[in-house]
């Protein structure tokens, strides 16, 4: 893949070049990564082994945790290792693979969040038809569509990345390979590539956020006909979910819907959706759910 380029490897600048801060980065992100793996694997194991968590919401939660683990694993290990390593290089092929994986699992997370919002909409607004609409067959088809959509998006991203010619500097001012920092190193005019990037990643982020925002507005509006207790529970759940959506989509929109310019805060903004969201999702979507907590207790008791 690197035959048309004079650059066969890149150097990842990382979050900082300060030796003291690099040690802090190593410790902090190692702890965060291990916590992400533990939390999401616990969710996956609980849903997989529990007989009571077979509903559509938990099927989608299973895939959300799976996407979280994969997205975090795409980014965090190299960031952690590079923080204490003198050799911070990444080969051209590995860099392209990271671009593909990051966009695949990031897009998968977006689509699963949309499916979860749709499930909540049907459960609250179409309760009597819930089992008919959200049948096992329908859920399976929706998950397949999410996989296919993620594959199409990430294929488009890697196609754009492979069009970039590199003939000079090879230091990526980031902690992982992505199109924006790579475009700074390319030996060509980036106007068309950036336009395609915004129309792909930017459009997916904006359209998905608008869909999610409208769906939660409709859900909250429909709660006016529910009981006070039911309204309180649904409002609490939807509010928490929407906060997580803002945390995830806010940085994505900031990164992928703008002209080809970079800012000093880009790397810290990227931390929110590449490492922060996978860490928080298990807490937000499980600790406020009594069925999941009870299933986790049963799993723990059985193992003990």
- DSSP conformational letter for 128: G
pLDDT in tens, 207-233: 998 988 888 888 888 877 777 776 777
Q: Closest Cα partner for 255 from 187, 215, 214, 204?
A: 204
What is the CATH number for 256?
A: 1.20.1070.10
Task: Report if residue 3 sits inside a domain.
Answer: no
Q: Which residue has the higher pLDDT, 34 or 135?
A: 34
Instruction: Give me the chain's average pLDDT, please.
Output: 85
Rounded Cα distance between 32 and 25, Å, is 10
Q: Would you place residue 1 in the very low, low, confident or very high pLDDT band (cuts 50, 70, 90)?
A: very low
Task: Report if residue 47 sits inside a domain.
Answer: yes
Task: Report if residue 122 sits inside a domain.
Answer: yes
% of the chain beyond a pLDDT of 90: 27
Q: Would you place residue 301 in the very low, low, confident or very high pLDDT band (cuts 50, 70, 90)?
A: low
Six-digit token string for 101: 């994986």
Region 78-87: what's the mean pLDDT? Answer: 89
Q: Is the pLDDT of residue 3 over 60?
A: no
Task: Report if residue 4 sits inside a domain.
Answer: no
Burial 212-249 (b: 16+ CB within 10 A, else e): beebbeebbeebeeeeeeebeebeebbeebbebbebbb
Please give the residue range of the domain that contains residue 134: 9-303
Region 250-273: what's the mean pLDDT? Answer: 83
Taking the model in full, what pTM does it have?
0.89
Task: Report if residue 123 sits inside a domain.
Answer: yes
Region 130-140: what's the mean pLDDT? Answer: 88
* DSSP strand pairing (9-12 vs 89-91): antiparallel
Per-residue confidence (pLDDT) for residue 300, from 0 to 100: 66
Q: Which residue has the higher pLDDT, 303 or 143?
A: 143
Domain count, the chain: 1
pLDDT in tens, 28-67: 999 999 999 998 998 888 888 877 777 888 889 899 999 9
110, 173, 183, 191, 217 from 197: Cα distances, Å: 17, 19, 11, 10, 29
Q: Which residue has the higher pLDDT, 300 or 222?
A: 222
Region 288-299: what's the mean pLDDT? Answer: 72
What does the CA dihedral 106, 109, 114, 115 come to, rounded to 10 degrees? 140
pLDDT in tens, 143-199: 999 999 999 999 999 998 888 888 878 888 889 998 888 888 888 877 888 888 888
- Range with the lowest mean pLDDT among 88-97, 132-141, 258-267? 258-267
Rounded Cα distance between 165 and 193, Å, is 12
Q: Is the pLDDT of residue 113 over 60?
A: yes
């Amino acid at each position: 893949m690197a035959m048309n380029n004079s650059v066969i490897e890149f150097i990842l600048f990382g979050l900082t070049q300060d030796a003291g801060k690099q040690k802090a980065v190593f410790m902090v992100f190692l702890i965060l990564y291990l916590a992400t793996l533990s939390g999401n694997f616990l969710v996956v194991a609980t849903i997989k082994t529990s007989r009571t968590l077979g509903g559509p919401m938990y099927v989608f939660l299973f895939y959300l945790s799976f996407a979280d683990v994969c997205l975090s694993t795409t980014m965090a290990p190299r960031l952690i290792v590079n923080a204490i390593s003198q050799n911070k290089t990444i080969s051209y092929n590995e860099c392209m693979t990271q671009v593909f994986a990051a966009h695949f699992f990031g897009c998968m997370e977006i689509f699963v969040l949309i499916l979860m919002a749709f499930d909540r909409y049907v459960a609250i607004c179409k309760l009597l038809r819930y089992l008919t609409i959200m049948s096992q067959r329908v859920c399976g088809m929706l998950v397949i569509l999410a996989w296919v959509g993620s594959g199409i998006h990430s294929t488009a991203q890697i196609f754009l990345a492979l069009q970039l010619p590199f003939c000079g500097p090879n230091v990526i001012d980031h902690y992982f390979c992505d199109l924006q920092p790579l475009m700074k190193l390319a030996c060509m005019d980036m106007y068309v590539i950036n336009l395609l990037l915004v129309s792909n990643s930017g459009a997916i982020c904006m359209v998905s956020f608008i869909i999610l925002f409208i769906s939660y507005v409709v859900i909250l509006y429909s709660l006016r006909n529910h009981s006070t207790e039911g309204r309180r529970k649904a409002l609490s759940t939807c509010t928490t979910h929407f906060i997580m959506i803002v945390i995830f989509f806010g940085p994505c929109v900031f990164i992928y819907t703008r002209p080809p310019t970079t800012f000093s805060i880009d790397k810290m903004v990227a931390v929110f959706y590449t490492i922060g969201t996978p860490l928080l999702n298990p807490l937000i979507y499980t600790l406020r759910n009594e069925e999941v907590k009870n299933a986790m207790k049963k799993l723990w008791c059985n193992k003990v």
